[in-house]
Structure formats: C-alpha cells, structure tokens
Amino acid sequence: MDIQSSSADLSEMLAAGTKESHTKTEISQLGRDFYRGIVKKDILKKGIEALYFIYSAMEDELERNKDHPYIAPIYFPTELYRREALAKDLQYFYGADWESLISPSAATKLWVKRIHEVGKKDPGMLVAHCYVRYIGDLSGGHLLNNVAKKVLRLPSTGEGLKFYQFEGITSHKGFKQLYRSKLNEVDAEMETKMSIVEEANRAYGYSLKVIAELEEIGKSSKEEPVGLGHSHAGAIGDEAKCPFSAGTAGAGENANYVSHISNQLALAALVAVFAGFTAWYALRAP
C-alpha cells in the first residue's frame, strides 16, 4: 500500500506502513510454549528486565522532550508510564535488592541506545516507539494478564502483574480512540511522517532481536518449566480468539487481531514481558 496516498493521518500511515512488519513476523517458539503452558522463570525474569530498561529509556526521553510539538499531543504519563509498575514486578520476583541483580542484555542495550539517540538528536521519532509499545500493551494487557496469572498461579491481588494494570485509564477502548486522535494532531510534514513510520519499523526490528535472545535463553536453560502444562485457550476465550489459530480467524480485522496478539506473545516470554510490541490492530480497531 502507498502510505503517502492512503491518508495524511499519522495513525493511518503507521498502520499501513508497518503492516509488512506484521506479516513477516512468524509465531515464535516462545509464544507457542507459553500457550501450551510451558513456562521457565529464568526467561520470565530476563523478559521483565528487558522491558524495565526499554521503558526507563523511553520515559526518560519523553520527560526530556515533553514540550516538543510532536511529543506534547501524545504525552500521557499518568495513563501510560510503565517503569514504576515494572519496578514493582521486579521487586516481587527478585526481592528488595532487585536493582543490583539486573542488567540489560545485548539486544536490550541496542534498543535503549536507539531510544536515547533519537531522544537527543531527533525527538519526534520517539512517537514511533510510543506507537509500537504503549498502545499494544494496553490492547493486549487484559488478555495476557489473565493467561499469565493462570499459568504461573500468581496472586489474585495482582502482584507480579502490575505491568498490565493501567490504573489511570478507565476505558481502554476510549483511550485508544483518544490516542489515535492525538497521533493525528502531530503537525508534521509528509516527509517527517514517513520517517516516523520508518522508525516504527525499526522498533519492530529491535523487538524481534529481544525475542530471539529470549528464545536462546530458553534453549540453553536447564530449569524445569512451570505452569499448568496444557493449552490455555480457556483463559483467553474461544478458539477463534487464540493467537496461534490463524486459520480460525476471519478475514480483515480478525486476521489482523491474530497477528497483533501473536507478536505480543512472542516478545515476552511470560508475565510482564507479554506485552505489545505491535499496535497495528490496536489503532485501527474502533
């Protein structure tokens, strides 16, 4: 699709311009294992660590650039910021000394470096990273929260899953509509909008590097998996909603939903890591 002719709205340009990133993304073994109830806590911890460093970088740069004309329309710290929630999850899994026990992986460092780079040199490109992360997290969070809670038998009070809890948002659907409209308020030239789309595809590339890294950890881990040891379709709804059942989805939006959730599950091996590296469907859906 020619995204320049499809729409001048940034939200539509991002949706059209990142579609290929979705179709190229195959369902990972990591996601398949999770859906089958095969969970390793060492992968879980590394995934949470990755998100903590990624969000810390994003939110540092958003604060630094919150008055930038492209950032100001999508600046929602109360509603969206995830660093504090991830810190609580890390404390739950690692204990009080969690900060001394974590470090960014090689793939995470690459993404963090890129976020700081654009934050300092070209702040408008942070819009792309916000698009890829936040709204995908918000879209898949409730579903993935239920799956993770069930497979890992986490407390019903929410410990270990704070990442999914957007306490500043009362209506996820309403907020996504608001965010889409705010993206379209970004008053940029077409060339700049194209650059934002390109940066969003770059962000998807970084997410795939994190996925690959987590999968390698899983292959080398000698830890026994934990979980229920069976499919969790019941935790997320009927088979048509299963993120690994592309054949059961309908055409158009339903198929896009499958792609959206599949890529989310791929990034995060478990718990807080299962969150949205894709926002394509999220910002197209009503």
| Domains of the chain, residue spans | 3-284
- Nearest Cα neighbor of 28 from 218, 252, 203 is 218
Buried b (16+ CB within 10 A) or exposed e, 27-51: bbebbebbbbbbbbbebbbbbbbbb
The separation between the first and the last C-alpha atoms of the chain, rounded to the nearest angstrom, is: 21
pLDDT digits 0-9 by tens, 234-271: 544 433 333 322 233 333 444 443 344 333 433 443 43
CB 135 within 8 A of CB 174: no
Q: How far apart are CA 232 and CA 248, in angstroms?
A: 16
SS3 state of residue 171: coil
One-letter identity of residue 62 = L
Q: How far apart are CA 252 and CA 262, in angstroms?
A: 16
Residue 177's pLDDT is 92
For 3-284, the fitting CATH number among 3.40.50.80, 3.40.50.2300, 3.40.190.290, 1.20.910.10 is 1.20.910.10
- Nearest Cα neighbor of 217 from 116, 125, 108, 134 is 108
pTM, whole model, 2 decimals?
0.79
CB 225 within 8 A of CB 46: no
Q: How far apart are CA 15 and CA 21, in angstroms?
A: 10
Residue indicated by tokens 């739950």: 92
Phi-psi label, residue 153: left if phi above 0, alpha if psi -120 to 50, beta otherwise: left
Q: How far apart are CA 254 and CA 248, in angstroms?
A: 9
Looking at the DSSP assignment, which residues form a beta bridge with residue 269? none
pLDDT digits 0-9 by tens, 205-238: 898 898 889 888 877 766 665 554 545 445 444 3
Q: How far apart are CA 215 and CA 207, in angstroms?
A: 12
Please calculate the CA angle 194-197-199 and round it to the nearest 5 degrees.
Answer: 110
CB 54 within 8 A of CB 111: yes
User: What's the DSSP call for residue 189?
Assistant: -
Listed as ranges, residues in the chain with pLDDT below 70 are 1-7, 22-41, 140-152, 221-286
CB 268 within 8 A of CB 286: no
Token reading at 140: 């898949």
User: What's the DSSP call for residue 125?
Assistant: G
Token reading at 158: 């929410």
